[in-house]
Chains A and B, each alone.
Chain A
Amino acid sequence: MNATTPPPKRKLLVATTSLAGCFGCHMSFLDIDERILDLVELVEFDRSPITDIKHCSPNCDIGIIEGGVCNAENVHVLHEFRKNCKILIAMGACAINGGLPAQRNSLDIRDILAAVYARPGRGVHIPNDPEIPLLLNEVHPLHEVVKIDYFLPGCPPSGDAIWKFLTDLLAGRTPTLGHGLIHYD
């Protein structure tokens, strides 16, 4: 018998991170519940809060990013994802239009810091340790910094929306959501 079994299909490497987000999208990701068992048949998690791997492997297939860009570290992480992931997905309202953090954009960053770190009777002490990432003057959506391939709206997108989106993508279809799954809140 020369019959050869096809080589096992390589699992797609998926990296995820949260930038200026609240981790709500990641929590919603976990709302796919037991379907995560079907998912890990198809994908392997690389850098992600789920694995605690600190940096992306150079050959990631899909990068999923929650949150917008509000500080210098966010910019570095976003560039790392773009460099190492073939497909980049902006997940959730903050990644797509800056979301609630971007509501600070109409205010002066100095005024915000002064208001937050003012201590009655003790002046203003704005933390300036070099390890603390510098804030940007405005919060930006991801596509204003790097090329984004797909957008998954929602605050957060529901577990069902994330499942539909990812299964479409993994099956080679253009992800579509339709009524009930497409939400901006």
Chain B
Amino acid sequence: MSNGADSKTFFLDEEEIPFEEGQTIIQAALSAGKFIPHLCYHPEFKPHGSCKLCTVRIDSRTVTTEDGQSVKIPGRAAASCTTPAQAGQHVESEVPEIQDLRRTLVQMLLVEGNHYCPSCEKSGKCMLQGLAYDLGVMEPHFPQYFSKREVDASHPDVLLDFNRCILCELCVRASAEVDKKNVFALSGRGNTKHLICNSESGKLGDTNLAATDKAANVCPVGVILHKRHGFEVPYGQRRFDMAPISDNPAQYAPVKEQV
């Protein structure tokens, strides 16, 4: 086991993963080319820990009972985007019980909103859809919620379709941290929680959002859409037509800071 101060590694599904001090499990895993499913994690933003798709199991133990049987004591479940990597840690990610949990989370997101992929401009490059494909989600399992949500087309360049919001707060974080505009926020609690726009009318068109803002380009699903750019890439040539979401994990890894 690598506990030395200068050889920091942990184990992800029995594979040794190097990490730097301060890195979270998901950051180290993605940098090492190992994919961990995620929605609210983004390499350029502070971890949020809300979607729980990146949940892993840490330090499960096997004990031998008095009658000689081996029993696995499951380790603690934690969001790998908020949990710092620690030397010698044993992390389980791509194991059936964790993948089942992730599949259930994706199914709950799919029935909670109105996710009609055939009519969605984001289809083919939607992270929720890509994850669902990768996890083999064939059916919704739960009754459809059929939530009643509005569309906001008041902005000249950007359309908001709240039907697909998964409350990941990436646009909220981008607008506050990068654009310094605070255009978006979440309001309400529980199943009334929803995305709002920071203007007196509540309309996006009355905010100072620009189509070039980070907040307008960070949505992992089909909520924040650019007008006049729908369906530009033909079916069969879109991102997740070409490769599964788990392909090339390094694309989600944090960019190394220039010294």
Pair B148/A106 contact, Cβ less than 8 Å: yes
Give the CA-CA distance A185 to B235 in the complex, in Å: 9
B45 contacts chain A at the CB level, 8 A cutoff:
no
B contact patch SS: loop
Closest to B147 in A: A106
Interface string of A85-116 (1 = CB under 8 A from B): 00000100100111110110110000000000
**Residues 124-160 of chain B: 1 if any A CB is under 8 Å from the residue's CB, otherwise 0?**
1000010011101011100110101100000000000
Q: From A90, A150, A155, A183, name the one whose CB has the most chain B CB atoms within 10 angstroms.
A: A183
Stretch at the interface among B57-65, B76-84, B110-118, B199-207: B110-118
A140 contacts across to B, CB distance below 8 A = 144
Interchain CA distance A143-B144 in the complex, whole Å: 10
Q: A140-B144, A179-B133, A185-B235 are in contact. Are A96 and B139 (CB under 8 A)?
A: yes
B233-244 vs A, Cβ < 8 Å mask (1 yes, 0 no): 001000001011
- Provide the bound-state CA to CA distance between A141 and B116, in Å: 13
A141 and B145 alpha carbons, distance in the complex (Å)? 11
Report the Cα distance A90→B148, complex, angstroms.
25
For residue A111, give the distance in angstroms from its CB to the closest CB of chain B.
Answer: 13
Interface residues of B toward A: which range?
20 to 34
The residue from A90, A98, A102, A179 contacting B139, defined by CB atoms under 8 A apart: A90
Q: Is the CB of A103 within 8 A of B114?
A: yes
Choose one: A98, A100, A176, A183; the contact of B119 (CB below 8 Å). Answer: A100
**Is B55 among interface residues, defined by CB-CB distance under 8 A?**
no
| Complexed CA–CA distance, A99 and B110 (Å) | 12
Residues of A within 8 A of B114 (CB): 103, 106
Q: Is the CB of A103 within 8 A of B117?
A: no
A141 near B144 with CB under 8 A, answer yes
A99 to B120: give the CA distance in the assembly, Å.
Answer: 12
- Report yes or no: A99 in contact with B116, Cβ–Cβ below 8 A: yes
Query: Contacts A151-B139, A177-B138, A182-B138: A105 and B146 contacting too (C-beta < 8 A)?
Result: yes
Closest chain B residue, CB of each to CB of A181: B133
Whether B136 and A177, one on each chain, are in contact in the complex, defined by CB atoms closer than 8 angstroms, is yes
Q: Which residues of A contact B138 (CB under 8 A)?
A: 150-153, 177, 182
Q: A73 at interface (Cβ–Cβ under 8 A)?
A: no
Q: Closest residue to A180 on the B side, CB-wise?
A: B241
Question: Nearest Cβ in chain A — how far from B248, in angstroms?
Answer: 14
Q: Choose from B117, B134, B149 the contact partner of A185 (Cβ within 8 Å).
A: B117
> Any chain A CB within 8 A of the CB of B27?
no
Residues of A within 8 A of B144 (CB): 97-98, 102, 140-141, 144
Candidates B116, B123, B143, B244; contact of A103 at CB < 8 Å: B116
User: Can you identify 13 A-B contacts, CB atoms within 8 angstroms?
Assistant: A97-B140, A98-B146, A99-B118, A141-B140, A144-B144, A152-B138, A153-B138, A177-B138, A179-B134, A182-B138, A184-B123, A185-B124, A185-B235
Which residue numbers of B lie inside 8 Å of A, CB to CB? 110-111, 114-120, 123-124, 129, 132-134, 136, 138-140, 143-144, 146, 148-149, 235, 241, 243-244
Chain A interface residues toward B at CB < 8 A: 90, 93, 96-100, 102-103, 105-106, 138, 140-141, 143-144, 148, 150-153, 155, 176-180, 182-185
9 A-B pairs with the lowest CB-CB distances in the bound complex, closest first = A151-B139, A184-B117, A155-B118, A185-B117, A185-B118, A151-B138, A106-B148, A179-B244, A105-B146
